[in-house]
């Protein structure tokens, strides 16, 4: 399998590690008076554990640890292993003016 890193070009998959589904977003919350807000545990439970078992294209995280150390978001077909796109995670490079949890 070959992965086209946007920084390093097409590289062998042994340079990368797989993390999984890129769709769950880490819940964003403010801490008041030392306690976590109501409902945040359920949100975290979903974020940490619940995953769809996708047959077909899926957005997923790959880490180019054997190369530029970028976290990448790849659209990969889980049935054919074909990649449709590979893009850099939002924070690759310098800090970006985006909102947390986006």
- Find the binder of another protein among 23, 36, 85, 87 (CB under 8 A): 36
Distance CA 73, CA 83 (A): 11
Select from 14, 2, 12, 8 the least CA-distant residue to 70: 8
| Distance of closest approach, residue 42 Cβ to another protein, in angstroms | 10
Q: DSSP letter string over 8-31?
A: TEEEEGGG-EEEEES---------
The answer to whether 9 contacts another protein (rule: CB under 8 A) is no
Write out the residues near another protein by the rule CB under 8 A. Answer: 1-2, 12, 17, 19, 26-27, 29-31, 34-36, 40-41, 44-45, 47-49, 61, 63, 65, 69-71, 80-83, 88-92, 94-100
């Amino acid at each position: 399998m070959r992965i086209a890193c946007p920084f390093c070009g097409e590289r062998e998959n042994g340079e990368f590690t797989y993390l999984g589904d890129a769709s769950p977003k880490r819940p964003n919350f403010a801490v008041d008076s030392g306690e976590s807000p109501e409902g945040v545990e359920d949100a975290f439970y979903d974020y940490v554990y619940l995953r769809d078992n996708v047959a077909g294209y899926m957005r997923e995280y790959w880490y180019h640890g054997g190369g530029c150390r970028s976290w990448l978001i790849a659209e990969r077909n889980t049935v054919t292993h074909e990649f449709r796109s590979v893009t850099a995670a939002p924070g690759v490079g310098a800090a970006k003016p985006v909102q947390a949890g986006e």
